[in-house]
């Protein structure tokens, strides 16, 4: 979880900027900010997997998805072909998708 904090801060900063600069609402701003950050983290981790070096822990990827980066996680899996064979990722992303879809339903006018 501790390794996820810097990524969550970046995603949160993007969300605040989107919330202040657009009229899309705070929930969508959060999902976009975290989604963009999560997508970038998936890409970075895939590059590190190919070249060696420090990798992003799987728990961090799960935390980012559950915190709101679910769209970026699905996109990162598809674009970078990263973590596609791990059933655990599919389960966590499915749970995060359902949870955030429920949040959107409840908070959307």
Question: pLDDT at position 1, please?
Answer: 62
pLDDT per residue as tens digits for the range 60-88? 999 999 999 999 999 999 999 888 788 89
Distance between CA atoms of residues 31 and 35, nearest Å: 6
Distance between CA atoms of residues 59 and 66, nearest Å: 10
Using the predicted structure, report yes or no on whether residue 108 has a pLDDT greater than 90: no
Using the predicted structure, report yes or no on whether residue 109 has a pLDDT greater than 80: no
Other beta carbons within 10 Å of 99: 13
């Amino acid at each position: 979880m501790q390794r996820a904090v810097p990524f969550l801060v970046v995603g949160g900063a993007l969300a605040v900027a989107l919330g202040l600069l657009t009229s899309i609402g705070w929930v969508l701003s959060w999902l976009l900010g975290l989604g963009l950050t999560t997508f970038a983290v998936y890409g970075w981790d895939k590059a590190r997997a190919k070249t060696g070096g420090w990798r992003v822990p799987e728990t961090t990827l799960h935390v980012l998805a559950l915190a709101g980066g679910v769209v970026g996680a699905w996109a990162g899996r598809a674009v970078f072909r990263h973590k596609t064979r791990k059933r655990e990722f599919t389960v966590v992303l499915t749970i995060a998708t359902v949870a955030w879809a429920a949040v959107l339903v409840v908070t959307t006018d």
